[in-house]
Amino acid sequence: MDQIIVRGGNELHGEIPITGAKNACLTLMPLTLLTDQPLTLTNAPRLSDIRTMTQLLQSLGAEVASLQDGQVLAMSSHALTSQTADYDIVRKMRASILVLGPLLARYGQGVVSLPGGCAIGARPVDLHLKAFEAMGAELDLRDGYVWAKAPAGGLKGAVIDFPIVSVGATENALMAAALAKGTTVIKNAAREPEIVDLAVCLRRMGAQIEGEGTSTITIQGVTSLGGATHPVVTDRIELGTYMLAPAICGGEVECLGGRIDLLAAFCEKLDEAGISVTETPRGLKVARKNGRVRAVDVVTEPFPGFPTDLQAQIMALMCTAEGTSVLEERIFENRFMHAPELARMGARIEVHGGTARVTGIEKLKGAPVMATDLRASVSLILAGLAAEGETVVSRVYHLDRGYEKVVRKLSGVGAQIERIKEVHHDE
């Protein structure tokens, strides 16, 4: 297994290109199933989940070509050979359920394995299925698969009122409603930028949608959709992560493709901490205003609140801030597994349930640490950038699921960072 070695102490200067959002791209790719015309996505991220979705679409008979070193996906579904998404592919990725809405809407039927062969109640897949039922689909769960069939004249417009906010279910309902007969109203819809991006792309294909970005989305079904070329929205979590790099170790970095509206709550916290964020024609420029960063309190919330996926990274910043900060995690339990690892570098952190209290110190010290999940792994790299001496981060395979070319991007702005194969010594 690989390790990442960081030697702290360097200020960062230059620019970091931000890739397209993985979660947006995974939702946009199934749109090819809604049309027989070509769909091209630009600014696609090069990550393992994207390759899995490519395999899934190809297994249905869609053509998917990866161009320009994987940054452009050219797709066509003019002649599908199957409407069945097999367990062998679906088990690798929960986003696979997003092919069901498009298959139902265009072909009147779809068979999709339950993600990971899970029991239906415990997983939020039931919200996707309730939306299809509201539009007249008949559903049968057997042998670990969802068998879905539209009524004779196709899916019908409906009022879909979600009991809880679900990004995936909102996306699936939105795609299915684009070709349904009549009007569909999605209430308590998710408001994330990835939903807005999906609606923008659907509109480019000829769909009639309004209200995306609010909790009520209205879709007027059309008889067919055309092709389009669409740039995948910037990855707001990658953006926030790299914005924190100059905040932690000084300097000035421009994040290319960044937009404040993707991270308004996060940018407000940076401002409060004494970090300037300036919009430029190419993205966002980030630098410390003067001296040491100030401690700020953070509460994670669904969009447009502070993202849970940036909590570990801002905790790394707070480790050397002036004062004491309180971070409250309201989205996921067990999301402070990075705290003991940061403590190995000298950080003063007390965790009580869903709250972490961080008392800032002057300087962290490099240490061997272990990544426990995707966001934790990058928070340890950020901490290492500001620490004295050498930090060795193990288990970095978590990183590859959500960040491409971390070492290249950070070393490009002056960080001392390298990736090496882990050496195993005999006992």
**Alpha carbon distances (Å) from 151 to 128, 147, 295:** 17, 13, 57
Residue 413: other Cβ atoms inside 10 A: 20
Helix (H, G, I), strand (E, B) or coil at 360: coil
309 labelled as ligand-binding? yes
**Beta strands of 88-195 (E only): which ranges?**
109-113, 138-142, 145-149, 159-161, 183-187
Q: Which helix (H) or strand (E) is 229 found in, with range?
A: strand 228-231
Rounded to the nearest 5°, which phi and psi values hold at 200? -65, -45
Task: Please answer whether residues 44 and 73 qualify as being in contact, where contact means their C-beta atoms are separated by less than 8 angstroms.
Answer: yes
Q: Is 302 among the annotated ligand-binding positions?
A: no
- Residue 143 is assigned to a ligand binding site: no
Roughly how many angstroms between the first and final C-alpha of the chain, as a whole number? 18
Is 191 assigned a ligand-binding role in the annotation? no
Q: Look up residue 308 and give its DSSP letter.
A: G
Q: Is 331 annotated as a binding residue?
A: yes
SS3 for 52-111 is HHHHHHHHCCCEEEEECCCCEEEEECCCCCCCEECHHHHCCCHHHHHHHHHHHHHHCEEE
Residue 181: enclosing H or E segment and its boundaries?
none
Measured between alpha carbons, how far is residue 234 from residues 193, 240, 252, 284 in Å?
Answer: 9, 11, 20, 12
C-beta atoms surrounding 87 within 10 Å: 18
22 is in an annotated binding site: yes
127 labelled as ligand-binding? yes
Orientation angle between helical segments 167-177 and 125-134, nearest 10 degrees: 30
Catalytic residue (choose from 118, 201, 255, 267)? 118
| 188 and 164 Cβ atoms separated by less than 8 Å | yes
Count of C-beta atoms within a 10 Å radius of residue 243: 26
118 is catalytic: yes
The residues that are catalytic are 118
Binding-site residue positions for phosphoenolpyruvate: 22-23
Binding-site residue positions for UDP-N-acetyl-alpha-D-glucosamine: 94, 123-127, 309, 331
